[in-house]
Chains A and B, each alone.
Chain A
Amino acid sequence: MAKAPKKTPSRKPPASKPASASDDSRPRLVTRDEASTRIVNVGREVYTDVIKKNRKPTMRFPIRALSNVRYDIKRGHFEIRGKQATRTLTYNTVKTFAQSMRLLATTKKDLLDKQDIAGKREIYYNSKSWAECRFDEQPESDALLDDMEAMLGVNREQLGYIPEERGGEVTGPLIVVDRNATTGEVVKINCAKLGSGAWSIPSRVEHLSFDAKGAKFILVIETASLFQRLVHHQYFEKASCILISMSGVPTRACRRFIRRLADDQRLPVLVFTDGDPYGYCNIYRTLKVGSGQAAHINRYFCVPQAHYLGVTPQDIIDYKLEDATHPLEQADIKRAQDALKNDPFILHHKEWQAALHQMLKMGVRIEQQAFAKHGLNYVLEHYLPEKIKRQHFLP
């Protein structure tokens, strides 16, 4: 079994653990009042600048990009560095500034004070009542929401914004303990007994607790079709693992769910994606250490204990899959070269550099389904067991 990175798994009662450990592993629970106070503080600063200090107000927030992250080895994720962007009130920023203020006001008054929730798109439509201050397109309001999140240091779920995306399905020897949102009644979901289907991860996962006594590890899979094959053949029983499907880049909820589950049940995480730069650098890297874009909240959404199972470039050779590959496209090559140059995670791991160089040299990419060349069930009968047995993982 893969040795999970040394990590202090957090327990449920935060009071029993040192605050710092709890900070690391789960979003520091910010009460609505506290979030509200932070908004008021931002507002007060602006107000003081204008009225008392007679100067143009500014808003500061951390720059969210790969260039402003550092790979924190100890914690195992991308940590945001100090670079901050300053938005000073000028002719050019007056509209954004006004929109930010109105967005903060709405968040405070309509969401936090009234204990309500809203989707990103709802907030976009809500702005339509702001006359000329309205958002013309949703990306505008999304960007401001991200800014606000970074500025307040609170992830938006805690401000009452619910993600509209859902993602991730789970099967395997796991019992999820949920609660009925209206009655508060405890609901237990046995993910091993869902027939040919799977349990889908909800958008908020903080309140869930788990029981995964029969599981030895978590296998995270990129594509839904391969997930279906494994479920169909009840692979999770044979391998005693929890199967999670991501369908592309994992959503925040999915990442958080894996993290919590892995921490809670002290389970190693193995990731199985397509063998291409997107699978390595976007899907796997984001899952394990977070992204540049969400740099300010990576510490909650990363899964540092994850290891990469495949498909590695070496697997193409080892499993004689050369004729089941596709040539790398221009975008793939660019992505790989970019990662080799700029991605702090890749730059830290020589193994990954070697893998990417190997892929670039071979000039091909491979999909998870390519193992069907040797028979439809070759992947679960030979590839996965062998890989897990030999523990040939990338960091």
Chain B
Amino acid sequence: MQGRRKRAASLRLKCGAWDGTVPPMRKKPMVQETAESLAGRQREISVSEFFLKNRHLLGFDNPRKALMTTVKEAVDNALDACEEAGILPQISVEIQQTADTRFRVSITDNGPGIVRAQIPKIFAKLLYGSKFHRLRMSRGQQGIGISAAGMYGQLTTGTSTRILSRTKGSKTAHAIDVQIDTRKNMPTILKDEESDWHPVFYQAAIDGKPVEPVTAKSGTCVTIEMEAAYVRGRLSVDEYLKQCAVVNPHLQLHYRIVLTRAAARDEEEGRKGSKAKAAAAEVAEEPAPGNDVPWTTFLRATNQVPDQPQEIKPHPHGVELGMLMQMLKNSPARTVRAALSQDFSRVSEKTALEICERAKLNPKANPTRIAHQESEALFKAIAETKLMRPPMDCLSPIGEAAIEAGLRKEIVADFYTAVTRSPTVYRGNPFLVEAGLAYAKPGDNADLTAEEPIRLMRFANRVPLLYMAGACSMNKAAASVNWKAYGLSQPRGSLPLGPMVLMVHIASVWVPFTSESKEAVAHYPEIIKELAFCLQECGRRLSVFLHKRQRLAEADRKRQYMELYIPHLALGLKDILDLKDRDEQALVKQLHTLLERTHLET
């Protein structure tokens, strides 16, 4: 038996297809399941349990990414809350390393605050939120993010999520500790206190002079402790916040990270902290005293809160059959005609009638009945009917000026431009794309070298996307543009090379992400086409700039060349004609004028 198994295994190994599992013992009798026995084990799966097992779907696949995702979800929520309340946002992000692989993340905002009753559900119930059921451009979509971050912290450290919140005009703030009951997807409140907490924002010193901390009247602070890792670089919290500042020029952002002494020392030593050393130091080291670590502040470039986008009804062309049935069933309207014109955008009474005629339906029929029996005909008729595009005021672009300001603020370069396209539609969802570009003179910006690919910053509804660049349609669109035509070198089928930062923004009521972790935008042809047009326009402007610069450099080169020989010409003439020095100088001057007139003016 033993020998046979061994041989079987080695045989498989030889074949090179052994999948690592030991072949099942043949002797064990198979238990036959019955419908009844199966039924005993069949039960509901809570979304919390599902995401606990599939945490990579939410962006918690590794400790480093977990830290970034937590900050991202909290900052997104804070920004959405501030903007909806029309408050000029001020956000503070503090990360404190409590042990080698443990970090405490606190995000404070000056938003409107949250009423006591809602706090537990918002922070400890997955798929709970204000944004899922409406068609409106916002950063958050599903109501998963921050709860998932809390769940991740709870899973890895056993601690609870702490929320401090103060609404405007209230006498006290609430301090609540919650955990999530993953079985039931329900919050468990561990502590619920009144507190005199106020959101406080510490600002970086300007020119060495300390700036007084600012206290806000309302706001929320969420603190989560979790297992995580901090690594600098393109995929770090630092980069995320920097891009956030670029894309939200109205945001005042404060940030600091307090590492343990060991980690801080490792950082210093070439930033390659050996894990063994850090682990050894873990026991002895206390977290570094927080107060001496300076804050970094990303100052706001504009005091204009972006216009609040309007909420819209779904456009018929973006609705699928199942959803159409659902909407008809739930419609308060009495007739199909009324249901169509009231529940959808861009359907007038007249258009509704046209749709009904096309579907050979009685416009006065009960929508609930139609939903059950003739919805397919109706669906077909809708697809065949010409409709106006969905309203576009549901989108709030950053705007060309603001994009440029954001880039100028955070990136050292000598050419900036931005393009905002007018809105268009994919699958009935309005969307628009914007792009900005910062081109540095080679050598001026150490971060941007001429030999490396350009840096592409991707944003969806003003949220920076750091991961899964390769899978994103923004990346694909940027690579599909022929940048050679605009003066950059570009390896076939990839991003161009050059000292350039390219930022691309998609704003939509429903950004089609490839997964719940919102890292990449799906490849809709309409989106890629719009992106390409937008980038091409940026490219054309860049090319104008590069050509001009090239022309100037060329003129400079020519001038230098001519300046080299003009004195010789004059000297020759002086020798031939026995001129005086004064005449020679006049000659040189006049020759300059003559040559520059024809060669250097354009």
What residues make up the interface of A, taking CB atoms closer than 8 Å to B?
39-40, 42-44, 46-47, 50-51, 54-56, 89-91, 94-95, 97-106, 108-109, 130-133
Contact = CB atoms under 8 A, between A and B. Distances in A.
Contacts, number: 89
Which of B569, B571, B598 neighbours the largest number of chain A CB atoms within 10 Å of its CB?
B569
B492 interface: no
Given A50-B594, A91-B599, A98-B572, A43 B566 contact: no
Contacts of B591: 50, 89
Given A40-B576, A43-B576, A102-B572, A95 B565 contact: yes
A43 B575 CA distance: 9
Contact of A90 (B574, B576, B599): B599
B587 A50 contact: yes
26 contacts: A40-B577, A43-B577, A44-B577, A50-B594, A56-B598, A89-B595, A90-B599, A91-B558, A91-B598, A94-B566, A94-B595, A95-B564, A97-B569, A99-B568, A101-B568, A102-B568, A105-B571, A105-B572, A105-B575, A108-B575, A108-B576, A130-B568, A131-B568, A132-B564, A132-B565, A132-B568
B565 A98 contact: yes
B393 to A, nearest CB: 56
Which of A56, A98, A105 neighbours the largest number of chain B CB atoms within 10 Å of its CB?
A98
Contacts of B579: 47
Contacts of B574: 105
A71 to B, nearest CB: 37
Interface in B567-591: 568-569, 571-577, 579, 583, 586-587, 590-591
A90 B595 contact: yes
Contact of A47 (B566, B587, B598): B587
Nearest to B579: A47
A40 B591 CA distance: 19
A98 B576 contact: no
A101 B594 contact: no
Interface string B535-572: 00000000000000000000000100110111011011
Contacts of B598: 56, 90-91
A94 B572 CA distance: 13
A166 to B, nearest CB: 32
A132 B561 CA distance: 10
B569 A54 contact: no
Given A102-B568, A109-B575, 12 more contacts: A40-B576, A43-B573, A51-B583, A54-B590, A54-B594, A91-B599, A94-B569, A101-B573, A103-B572, A105-B572, A131-B568, A132-B564
A379 to B, nearest CB: 55
Nearest to A101: B572
A51 B572 contact: no
Given A54-B590, A90-B595, A105 B562 contact: no
A97 B576 contact: no
Nearest to B587: A50
Nearest to A97: B569
A108 B598 CA distance: 32
Nearest to A51: B590
B555 to A, nearest CB: 10
A94 B558 CA distance: 11
Give the top 8 A-B pairs by smallest Cβ distance, nearest first: A101-B572, A105-B575, A43-B576, A98-B568, A98-B569, A133-B568, A98-B565, A102-B572
Nearest to A130: B568
A108 B575 CA distance: 9
A102 B595 contact: no
A76 to B, nearest CB: 37
A161 B425 CA distance: 83
**Chain A's interface: helix, strand, loop or mixed, by majority?**
helix
A240 B573 CA distance: 56
Contact of B573 (A47, A54, A55, A99): A47
A93 to B, nearest CB: 10
Contacts of A130: 568
Nearest to B575: A105
Nearest to A100: B572
Interface in B309-338: none
B595 A91 contact: yes
Nearest to B572: A101
Given A104-B576, A109-B575, A91 B561 contact: yes
A57 B51 CA distance: 83
B563 to A, nearest CB: 10
Contacts of B562: 91, 94
A64 B181 CA distance: 100
Contacts of A98: 565-566, 568-569, 572
Contacts of B587: 47, 50-51
Contacts of A95: 561, 564-565
B597 to A, nearest CB: 9
Nearest to A88: B598
B562 to A, nearest CB: 5
Nearest to A102: B572
A101 B571 CA distance: 8
Contact of B569 (A40, A101, A109, A131): A101
A132 B562 CA distance: 11
Nearest to A44: B577
A106 B575 CA distance: 8
A131 B563 CA distance: 13
Contacts of B595: 56, 89-91, 94
Nearest to A41: B576
Contacts of A99: 568
Nearest to B600: A91
A44 B574 CA distance: 10
Contacts of A102: 568, 571-572, 575
B349 to A, nearest CB: 73
B576 A39 contact: yes
Contacts of B586: 51
Contacts of B568: 98-99, 101-102, 130-133
Nearest to A42: B576
Interface in B230-245: none
Contact of B561 (A55, A94, A133): A94
A55 B594 contact: yes
A89 B573 CA distance: 14
A44 B564 CA distance: 22
Nearest to A43: B576
Contacts of A105: 571-576
A175 to B, nearest CB: 44
B483 to A, nearest CB: 31
B559 to A, nearest CB: 9
Interface string B201-215: 000000000000000
Contacts of B575: 102, 105-106, 108-109
A104 B566 CA distance: 16
A43 B571 CA distance: 11
A98 B579 CA distance: 16
A95 B572 CA distance: 12
Contacts of A109: 575
B577 A94 contact: no
Contacts of A43: 572-573, 576-577
Contacts of A97: 565, 569
Contact of B577 (A47, A56, A89, A91): A47
